[in-house]
């Protein structure tokens, strides 16, 4: 069970001639057992906020507490390996690894025996609606939606207590969107995960326990 809290969180991208203040004074409480959705138009700062929660970038000001501990003081790799599974907007599958190898990679890093990891890979792949025939294929031979589902399966396989997903249904049809939305909410409700989903998709937001809206870097409101 994990709780995440952000306190006056700020982040800017600094280029030579321009500074983009992508996250502005965000105060957010994300709780275990809930599916929490962040919506907002393109460029509003959703992915940047998620990357801060994933410890992929460091806050410029403010802080993030995970179970009351300062995220910046934790080892970022360990945090993502053991605590927080990240589903990236651009999938980030390893191109030279098969579907099976992609899914078991984080498990092997966590010293799970290979056989156990392979059984787990088959199970999670089935959960995202793909059969075992996909295990030996390479990401480049899959459709966008299939790659997305493998990325989700990889995150599910690791059974972390935090799941951070950036547009996890961006490339999926209605049926698979429902399947993935159901899986994410069941991870929250049945396993007590703290699930955070960034999306444009209002059908995903409709299944959330909490919805936060982002606008111009600011968390502008909370819808029921
Ligand atoms: N690496 C970067 N360097 C400079 N500016 C960036 C970078 N990444 C994002 N930005 C800018 O920061 C702002 C927020 O971007 P972000 O990717 O967080 O938006 P988003 O809400 O996830 O958008 P989308 O819905 O299109 O994915 C935008 O103005 C964007 O142009
Ligand atoms: Mg984004």
Q: Is the CB of 24 under 6 A from ligand 1?
A: no
Report pLDDT for 200: 86
Query: Which atom of ligand 1 is the closest one to the Cα of 47?
Result: 22
Q: What is the pLDDT of residue 82?
A: 93
pLDDT for the residue 79: 96
Domain presence at residue 23: no
Phi, psi (deg, nearest 5) at residue 96: -90, 0
If you take atom 17 of ligand 1, which residue's CA is the nearest one?
47
Q: Is residue 61 part of a domain?
A: no
Give the per-residue pLDDT at 24: 97
Assigned domain for 15 exists: no
Q: What pLDDT, on the 0 to 100 scale, is given for residue 89? A: 82
Which residue range is the domain that position 126 belongs to? 33-55+73-223
Give per-10-residue mean pLDDT for the chain (224 aa): 95 92 96 96 94 96 97 96 91 94 95 96 95 96 93 92 94 91 93 94 92 93 54
Q: Which ligand is nearest to the CA of 45?
A: 1
- Pocket of ligand 1 contains residue 43 by CB under 6 Å: yes
Q: Which of 11, 13, 17, 219 to mutate to test the pocket of ligand 1 (most atoms within 8 A of CB)?
A: 13
Residues 61, 67, 72, 78, Cα dihedral to 10°: -150
- Per DSSP, helices labelled H in 33-98 are 46-53, 76-78
Is the pTM higher than 0.85? The answer reads yes
Phi/psi class of residue 156: alpha, beta or left (left: φ > 0; alpha: ψ in -120 to 50)? alpha
Predicted confidence at residue 221, as pLDDT, reads: 63
CATH number at residue 40: 3.40.50.300
CA of 27 to the centre of ligand 1 (A): 19
**Which pLDDT value is given to residue 222?**
59
Residue 149 lies in a domain: yes
């Amino acid at each position: 069970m994990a709780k995440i809290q952000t306190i006056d969180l700020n982040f800017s991208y600094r280029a030579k001639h321009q500074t983009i203040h992508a996250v502005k004074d965000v105060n957010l409480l994300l709780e275990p057992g809930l599916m929490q959705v962040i919506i907002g138009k393109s460029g509003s700062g959703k992915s940047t906020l998620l990357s801060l929660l994933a410890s992929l970038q460091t806050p410029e000001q403010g802080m993030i507490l995970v179970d009351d501990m300062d995220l910046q003081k934790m080892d970022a790799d360990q945090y993502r390996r053991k605590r927080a599974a990240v589903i990236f907007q651009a999938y980030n599958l390893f191109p030279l690894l098969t579907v099976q190898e992609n899914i078991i990679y984080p498990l092997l890093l966590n010293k799970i025996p290979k056989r156990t990891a392979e059984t787990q890979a088959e199970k999670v792949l089935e959960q995202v609606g793909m059969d075992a025939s996909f295990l030996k294929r390479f990401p480049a031979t899959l459709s966008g939606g299939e790659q997305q589902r493998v990325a989700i399966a990889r995150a599910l396989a690791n059974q972390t207590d935090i799941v951070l997903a950036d547009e996890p249904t961006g490339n999926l049809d209605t049926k698979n969107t429902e399947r993935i939305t159901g899986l994410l909410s069941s991870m929250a409700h049945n396993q007590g995960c703290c699930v955070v989903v960034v999306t444009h998709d209002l059908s995903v937001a409709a299944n959330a326990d909490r919805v936060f809206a982002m606008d111009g870097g600011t968390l502008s409101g909370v819808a029921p």
